[in-house]
């Protein structure tokens, strides 16, 4: 018996090696139920569902799957994964009663048959036509304006001048020659006036376009109120004392005469004389021969028939002018009137 314990040939009572395992028989699909697998000191019992229960747990081994639950790996509490969000946001299935009905060709055809096309209302049609017509008119107007302003079709070829008495028309036409070639709509009153600054009698101008190529210029001149005698020359002056033009003889202008020495000696007296004469109408000025003054308060006028007018100062010019005009038109008393005193217009005196 002692010799039998140490004999290697004896297989009774000896444990099979650790690496030994049952080999499945040919034709079988895996370990049989209840078979034992011995591997590296681990004993596993194979069940009916090929699940192994390890005697020694391996921390690195994956958790076994459970039947009846999702195969999604467990997520630690408090964390959310990208795969879990869509499931959380998934809406519950609609109830059977609220599910949309599928649109079949027959139902779509029946709906199309129920659509009725109503004719456009007359008011809406009129509004649309007016809108289209308005837009078209604006576009045509802009195009026409562009043609008129920038096209050489309306270029100036001739210039005509009217309204001049103190200035020669030929001289004005010659001064306006630089305007030739410019389109008529581009020429303004300021453009014409800028070319006539060398003519003192011209006060203002008005431009008139005469298509296709003529520019009309109407001149407004200063109104002369007196004739200023300087030596042997006679000049027409306005209310500001500005010299407008010259005349060859005293009789060429039916205006009162002012001695030029007065203007040179005392400009204030000269301004007073011109202001008094400017207040009188043209028909009255034509009856005056001379105007003089020694001071600003002693203005005197002399008529062409030799009668005298005591005017006084430059106060109440309009009232004095109306009173003096009324006295001239009034019936003359016997013996006539030699002196008209309107220095106090509310109490005029004649003698």
Give me the residue spans of the domains in the chain: 155-221, 226-350
Q: Indicate the helix (H) or strand (E) that contains 299.
A: strand 299-303
Q: Tell me if residue 231 falls in helix, strand or coil.
A: coil
Fold equal for 155-221 and 226-350:
no
Q: How far, in Å, CA of 129 to CA of 126, rounded?
A: 5
Q: What is the mean pLDDT of the chain?
A: 76
pLDDT at site 107: 53
- Selected from 3.10.20.310, 3.40.50.2300, 3.40.50.2000, 3.40.50.1820, the CATH number assigned to the domain covering 155-221 reads 3.10.20.310
Q: Tell me if residue 348 falls in helix, strand or coil.
A: coil
| CB 158 within 8 Å of CB 217 | no
Q: Can you name the CATH fold of 226-350?
A: Rossmann fold (3.40.50)
Angle at 189 between CA 188 and CA 194, to 5 degrees: 105
Which is nearest to 197 in space by CA: 180, 213, 175, 218? 175
pLDDT at site 200: 94
- Residue 131 above 70 pLDDT? yes
- Residue 194 above 50 pLDDT? yes
- Which comes out higher in pLDDT, residue 39 or 132? 132
| CB 21 within 8 Å of CB 37 | yes
- Which comes out higher in pLDDT, residue 129 or 200? 200
Average pLDDT over residues 36-59: 48
């Amino acid at each position: 018996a002692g010799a039998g314990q140490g004999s290697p040939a004896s297989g009774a009572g000896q444990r099979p090696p650790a690496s030994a395992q049952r080999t499945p028989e040919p034709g079988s699909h895996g370990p049989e139920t209840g078979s034992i697998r011995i591997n590296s000191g681990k004993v596993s019992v194979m069940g009916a569902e090929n699940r192994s229960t390890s005697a020694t747990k391996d921390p690195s081994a994956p958790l076994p799957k459970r039947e009846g639950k999702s195969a999604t790996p467990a997520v630690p509490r408090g964390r959310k994964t990208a795969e879990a969000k869509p499931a959380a946001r998934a809406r519950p299935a609609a109830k059977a009663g609220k599910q949309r009905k599928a649109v079949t060709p027959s139902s779509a055809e029946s709906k199309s048959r129920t659509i009725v096309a109503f004719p456009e209302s007359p008011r809406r049609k009129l509004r649309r036509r007016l809108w289209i017509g308005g837009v078209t008119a604006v576009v045509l107007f802009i195009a026409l304006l562009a043609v008129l302003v920038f096209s050489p079709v309306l270029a100036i070829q001739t210039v005509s001048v009217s309204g001049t008495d103190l200035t020669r028309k030929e001289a004005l036409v010659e001064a306006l020659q630089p305007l030739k070639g410019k389109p008529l709509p581009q020429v303004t009153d300021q453009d014409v006036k800028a070319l006539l600054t060398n003519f003192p009698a011209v006060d203002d101008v008005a431009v008139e376009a005469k298509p296709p190529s003529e520019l009309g210029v109407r001149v407004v001149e200063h109104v002369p109120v007196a004739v200023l005698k300087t030596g042997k020359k006679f000049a027409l002056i306005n209310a500001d004392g500005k010299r407008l033009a010259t005349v060859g003889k005293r009789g060429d202008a039916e205006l009162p005469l002012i001695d030029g020495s007065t203007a040179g000696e005392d400009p204030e007296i000269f301004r007073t004389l011109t202001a008094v004469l400017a207040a009188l109408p043209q028909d009255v000025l034509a009856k005056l021969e001379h105007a003089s003054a020694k001071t600003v308060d002693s203005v005197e006028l002399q008529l062409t028939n030799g009668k005298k007018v005591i005017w006084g100062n430059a106060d109440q010019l309009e009232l004095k002018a109306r009173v003096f005009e009324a006295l001239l038109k009034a019936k003359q008393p016997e013996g006539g009137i030699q002196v008209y005193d309107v220095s106090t217009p509310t109490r005029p005196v004649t003698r």
